[in-house]
Amino acid sequence: MKDEEVARINELARIKKERPLTPAETAERKVLYDKYLKGIRRNIRSQLGTYRPEDFGDPPLPPAEGSPAEE
């Protein structure tokens, strides 16, 4: 997400504290906020995807039910 988009989210938040947002501003805020949250979720998934239970001294997880077991 671009810095300008984050700045616009913050600007809309300030406007919302002063007065109700117009329908166009509300729609813009939703689009920008959804995009912002999507980026956060993507970053968290990518960070968590690099960890394994063994990294923390835990035993490996058993294979999921229905998945082929390693032989």
Give the DSSP per-residue string, 7-70: HHHHHHHHHHHHSPPPHHHHHHHHHHHHHHHHHHHHHHHHHHTT--GGGGTPPPPPPPTTSPPP
Q: Which CATH fold topology does 3-54 show?
A: Helix Hairpins (1.10.287)
Query: Could you say which residues of the chain have pLDDT below 70?
Result: 53, 60, 67-71
* pTM more than 0.75: no
- What the block records as the tokens of 16 is 């919302």
What's the pLDDT at 32?
A: 96
Annotated domain spans of the chain: 3-54
What's the pLDDT at 34?
A: 96
- On the 0-12 / 13-18 / 19+ scale of CB atoms within 10 A, 12 is middle
Residues recorded for the chain: 71
